[in-house]
A and B are shown apart, each in its own frame.
Chain A
Amino acid sequence: MESKFYEEDKLLVLKITSEIDDYVVQEIRRKADYEMERYMPRKVVFDFDNVTFMDSSGIGFLIGRYKFANIIGAKLEMTNLGSSIKRIFEMSGILKLIPTVD
């Protein structure tokens, strides 16, 4: 996962660069929470452009980060969702909690 922080907007962009399953989530969860705590952003954008596979572990991951973002007062957004990833998120209803942007 690559992270980039834009100081003036207090925006943290977390770009996921691997497939998302239960094994990978254990790693990127730690990293995402660490980066969010370190920068205390106002907004966090998860970029899925490089994600070629995701199973339901991704839903749990996003819900967990959504809760953590609420604690630190940040808003969450997602971008570049491929069609199969979008389908999984749609089934879970998570798109009502976390908006997607282009």
Chain B
Amino acid sequence: MFNNEMKLEFISKSSNEAFARVAVAAFASQLDPTIEELADIKTAVSEAVTNSIIHGYEKKQGVVKISSWLTENEIIIEISDKGKGIENIEMAKEPLYTTKPNLERSGMGFTIMESFMDKVDVESIVGLGTKVTMSKTIKPKEEKDEDEFKMLMSNN
């Protein structure tokens, strides 16, 4: 079912956020995504990893794990931590809701993940950790070319 798989582990330092999103983007690039699709994936990964570091571990040291799978036309990304967990997932997902306004957090993390990826699933147990699973379909190149062609035709 999967064509490819990768796993990544790193300690919860915010300097690793850039490493994490670039690594996943490099893996995703095998599906030949557009620049926009790649930017969406990078942003969603950055949000989830930042959540693990800031909220899950609250800046204490822990390990963030990323697993990712590729199918013919889809990337699945699972980001997990063994941090403090989320008490109320529905509330955490609300736009602008944040438990850390003093750290200038915007509360937009889950909203961005949900709008940049096709599907976002959050599992969390207080005291044990959180796992975010996201997926995004990457259109094959021929379809993108067709779409572009149709758009050009409708504009003329």
Residues of A within 8 A of B (CB): 19, 21-23, 25-26, 29, 53-57, 59-61, 63-64, 83-84, 88, 91-92
Contacts and interface: CB of A to CB of B under 8 A. Distances in A.
The prevalent SS among residues of A at the interface is helix
Given A55-B43, A91-B115, A60 B106 contact: yes
B109 interface: yes
A57 B15 CA distance: 14
Listed from nearest, the 10 A-B pairs whose CB atoms lie closest are A59-B106, A60-B104, A23-B14, A55-B46, A64-B104, A56-B108, A60-B106, A84-B39, A22-B50, A21-B17
Bin the interface of chain B by size. 20 to 34
A22 B54 contact: yes
A22 B112 CA distance: 15
A88 B109 CA distance: 10
Nearest to B109: A56
Given A22-B14, A23-B14, A23-B18, A29 B39 contact: no
Interface string B88-118: 0000000110000001111011011001000
B109 A29 contact: no
B112 A91 contact: yes
